Structure 1
C-alpha cells in the first residue's frame, strides 16, 4: 500500500461534534497529532463497541495532544441520530466525520470496492500531516483503544527522540533502542 510516510490528502466534510455540525478539513490537523478511525457504518454491531472504547480513551489522547476523527461513509446527520439514540455512542466527544462522497475513505485507500463502506482502519497522523501508524482489520475484528494509545505514545516518543526506536511491547518510560552496527545480531 505504501501509505506509511505519505502525507494525508486534502478533504473537506461535515462533522457531528459535541452537539453541533461543523466543517472539518485536512488543514484542521496541521500542527497536531490526529487519529482517523474508519469504521463500516452507523447502527451496526462491532462499530459501537470500538467507538465507545475510543471515547473512553479520548481524554488520555487529548492529553497527548491528539485529536480524534471517526469516519464512516454515513452522513453527519446519521452520526447525530446514532449519537442521540445509543448510550455507547452518546459518550463520544470527538469528531464524527461524514464521508458520504467517499473522498476521505478513498484518500486513505480504505473504501471497499463496489460496497460503499470503509474498512475497519486506523491511521495516526503526525503534526506534519504524515501517516506514522496504520492498522486495518477484517469487519469482524474489533480494535483496542488502549493499544492505540500505546502506539501513539511510541510514535510521539520516536518523533521527539531522533535516533531512538521503541521495541515490541514498549510502554512509556521503558527502554528504547539506538540502532547501530553494534546491535546487529545481538537482539
Structure 2
C-alpha cells in the first residue's frame, strides 16, 4: 500500500540534539520540509556510515529549507551514549529522535515487530505533513545522502512549479519538462 500523500502520525518523542535532550512533535515538523531517516539501531555497522553521510550534507539540506530527523527505536539516552562514544556520531548536528515505543516506526510502517527495530526507511515529508517520497531498503544496504538531497530538491521544485516535472537524474538548474500533448511520443 502506497505511503504517498499519507499524513504523518501525531507524535511527541524525545530527541538528542546539540548535546542535549529536546521534545519533538508533529507540530514541530509542520510548515517545513522534513526528512525522516529510520535506521535499525545505534552502535551498529551500516547505520553510522549513513548518519555520517547525512551529517556531511546537513548544511545543504538546511540551505534547502529541510530538517533531517534520524530515527531509531533506541532511547535518547542511548543516542547520547553513542554520541559520546563515537567520533563519527559526534559529527551529527540534526535531531536524533528516540522511538522506544515505536510510534514513529509503526506510523511510517517500518517497524519490524519480531525484533522491535525499524527497517532502513527514508521519508520526505512536505510542509503539510504529507509523505511525498519514500524508500525502504534491506538492512544490510546503506543509503546515499546525495541522492536523497537531489530527490528533496526535485520535490521542492515541482511543488513550486506545478506545470513542470523533473526528468531522471535531474539536478537543480537542469532543464525540466512541461507535460503537453506535443511531448507525447517525442521523449
Write the distance in 1 (CA, Å) between the matches of 2:105 and 2:182: 43
Alpha-carbon RMSD = 0.7
Q: CA deviation at 1:183?
A: 1.5
Secondary structure of 1:135 counterpart: strand
Q: Give the aligned partner of residue 18 of structure 1.
A: 18
Find the residue that maps to 2:90 and give its secondary structure: helix
Determine the C-alpha separation between the residues in 1 that align with 2:183 and 2:119. 38
Query: Could you list the per-position Cα deviations for residues 56-101 of structure 1 after superposition, in whole angstroms to 9, with x for gaps in the alignment?
Result: 0001111111011000000000000001110110100000000000
State the alpha-carbon separation in 2 of the partners of residues 70 and 4 from structure 1.
20
Matched residue, 2:61: 61
For residue 167 of structure 2, what is the aligned residue in structure 1? 167
TM-score norm. by structure 1 comes to: 0.98
List aligned pairs for 1:5-154, cutoff 5 A: 5-154=5-154
Question: Match of 1:50, SS?
Answer: helix
SS of 2:93 mapped into structure 1: coil
Aligned equivalents of 2:135, 2:89: Cα separation in 1: 22
Count of residues in correspondence between the two structures: 187
Give the whole-Å Cα distance in 1 for the aligned partners of 2:69 and 2:179: 34
**Shift, 1:22, TM fit:** 0.4
User: How many Å apart are 1:186 and its aligned residue?
Assistant: 1.4
1:128 Cα deviation from its structure 2 partner: 0.8
Q: Distance in 2 between matches of 1:174 and 1:145?
A: 19
Counterparts of 1:11 and 1:184 in 2: how far apart (Å)? Answer: 44
Structure 1 outlier segments of 4+, above 4 Å: none
SS in 2 for 1:16: strand
- The offset of 1:113, in angstroms, is 2.7
- Structure 1: which 5+ runs fail to align? none
